[in-house]
């Protein structure tokens, strides 16, 4: 399926929807009644004004209670703008989860889905575009009604993962695109997350890591400066010299000389 499909499902008491999965995203929202939903083996009570966001390939099942009516929203993420996919789907809904809405949040969601049902019934290009915009708004609504701590934990884990990646791959990173491609998140979003927790961009941290290593090797080894430049990941000697002087306020040669003189003085 390519697009958006919205419909209602009514379940009788005790009805079981057997475990299955899809290659698309689904949002299930309980309009009335209650039951249980299972997501990859985890079972949750599922009742009015609660929803689940189900990411592709997630095994799920539903056990219905009395008079359970579920609104089903199916969509292919390819229809969404790239920034929406990254900031909302890939970061905030990287895995399937239960979403609890208060009365106000539930009211907003119902209004949005009513608009979407109306647009869906028209089936023109403009109606399809309208529903794509409403879907983005609905995802934003679900994110805002998540506990703030959950979103913060997700970003903290991503920032920590990024820092570990730089610590262990500093020698092969050429640009910020290398990092974003490896982690599957846009460069802009990575910069925002990393700066929130470490007060610098990933590339600034990469430079910091490389400069610490360069200082250590200049002070403690007799390695040629060109070899040090190559080992810590710089493509050219001129770039290494320029970066080192900008960061340490002296050239690599002067740093090595200063450190050697200091060492001789201490042991004199």
How many domains, in total, are found in the chain? 2
Question: What integer pLDDT is reported at residue 1 of this predicted model?
Answer: 44
* pLDDT surpassing 90 at residue 238: yes
pLDDT mean across residues, the chain: 88
Which CATH number fits the domain that encloses residue 200?
A: 1.10.10.60
Q: Do 29 and 140 share a structural domain?
A: yes
Task: Please write the tens of the pLDDT for every residue from 73-100.
Answer: 999 999 999 888 888 888 888 889 888 8
Q: For the residues 186-215, what does the mean pLDDT come to?
A: 90
Question: What integer pLDDT is reported at residue 204 of this predicted model?
Answer: 94
Within a domain: residue 153?
no
Within a domain: residue 219?
yes
Q: For the residues 29-39, what does the mean pLDDT come to?
A: 92
* pLDDT surpassing 90 at residue 207: yes
Q: Do 220 and 120 share a structural domain?
A: no
State which of 88, 111, 146 marks the end of a domain. 146
Lowest-pLDDT choice from 24-28, 53-57, 63-67: 63-67
* pLDDT surpassing 60 at residue 53: yes
Question: What integer pLDDT is reported at residue 57 of this predicted model?
Answer: 93
Within a domain: residue 151?
no
Within a domain: residue 261?
yes
Which CATH number fits the domain that encloses residue 72?
A: 2.60.120.280
Do 74 and 116 contact (CB within 8 A), yes or no? Answer: no
Q: Do 189 and 127 share a structural domain?
A: no
Q: Do 141 and 14 share a structural domain?
A: yes
Task: Please write the tens of the pLDDT for every residue from 133-143.
Answer: 999 999 998 88
Within a domain: residue 46?
yes
Domain span including residue 236: 170-268
Q: Do 128 and 35 share a structural domain?
A: yes
- Phi, psi (rounded to 5 degrees) for 223: -60, 145
Q: Do 189 and 138 share a structural domain?
A: no
* pLDDT surpassing 60 at residue 149: no
Q: For the residues 106-124, what does the mean pLDDT come to?
A: 91
* pLDDT surpassing 90 at residue 193: no
Q: Do 174 and 142 share a structural domain?
A: no
Within a domain: residue 232?
yes
How would DSSP label each residue in the chain? --SEEEEEEEE-TT-EEEEE--SSEEEEEEEESEEEEEETTEEEEEETTEEEEE-TT--EEEEE-TTEEEEEEEE-GGGS-HHHIIIIIIHHTSS-EEEE--HHHHHHHHHHHHHHHHHHHH-SHHHHHHHHHHHHHHHHHHHHTS-HHHHHHHHHHHHHHHHHHHHHHTTT--SHHHHHHHHTS-HHHHHHHHHHHHSS-HHHHHHHHHHHHHHHHHHH----HHHHHHHTT-S-HHHHHHHHHHHHSS-HHHHHHHHHHHHHHHT-
Question: What integer pLDDT is reported at residue 6 of this predicted model?
Answer: 95
Within a domain: residue 160?
no
Q: Do 240 and 192 share a structural domain?
A: yes
Question: What integer pLDDT is reported at residue 153 of this predicted model?
Answer: 63
Q: Do 135 and 24 share a structural domain?
A: yes
* pLDDT surpassing 80 at residue 187: yes
Question: What integer pLDDT is reported at residue 146 of this predicted model?
Answer: 64
Q: Which of the four pLDDT bands, split at 50, 70 and 90, describes residue 268?
A: very low
The pTM of the full predicted model, rounded to 2 decimals, is 0.56
* pLDDT surpassing 90 at residue 112: yes
Q: Do 254 and 122 share a structural domain?
A: no
Q: Do 137 and 37 share a structural domain?
A: yes
Q: Do 204 and 248 share a structural domain?
A: yes
Question: What integer pLDDT is reported at residue 150 of this predicted model?
Answer: 58
Question: What integer pLDDT is reported at residue 185 of this predicted model?
Answer: 76
């Amino acid at each position: 399926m390519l697009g958006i499909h919205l419909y209602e499902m009514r379940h009788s008491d005790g009805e079981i929807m057997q475990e299955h999965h899809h290659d698309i995203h689904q949002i299930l929202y309980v309009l009335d009644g209650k039951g249980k939903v299972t997501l990859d083996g985890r079972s949750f009570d599922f009742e009015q004004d609660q929803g689940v966001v189900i990411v592709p390939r997630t095994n799920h099942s539903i056990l219905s209670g009395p008079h359970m009516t579920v609104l089903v929203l199916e969509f292919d993420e390819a229809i969404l703008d790239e920034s929406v996919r990254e900031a909302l789907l890939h970061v905030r809904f990287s895995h399937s989860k239960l979403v609890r809405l208060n009365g106000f949040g539930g009211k907003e969601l119902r209004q949005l889905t009513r608009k979407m049902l109306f647009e869906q019934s028209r089936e023109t290009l403009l109606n399809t575009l309208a529903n794509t915009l409403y879907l983005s708004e609905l995802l934003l609504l679900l994110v805002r009604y998540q506990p703030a701590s959950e979103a913060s934990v997700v970003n903290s884990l991503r920032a920590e993962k990024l820092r570990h990646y730089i610590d262990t791959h500093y020698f092969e990173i050429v640009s910020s695109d290398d990092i974003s491609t490896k982690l599957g998140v846009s460069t802009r979003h990575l910069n925002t997350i990393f700066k929130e927790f470490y007060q610098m961009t990933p590339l600034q941290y990469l430079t910091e890591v490389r400069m610490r290593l360069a200082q250590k090797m200049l002070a403690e080894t007799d390695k040629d400066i060109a070899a040090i430049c190559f080992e810590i990941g710089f493509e050219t000697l001129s770039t290494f010299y320029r970066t080192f002087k900008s960061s340490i306020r002296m050239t690599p040669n002067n740093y090595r000389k200063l450190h050697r003189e200091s060492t001789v003085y201490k042991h004199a």
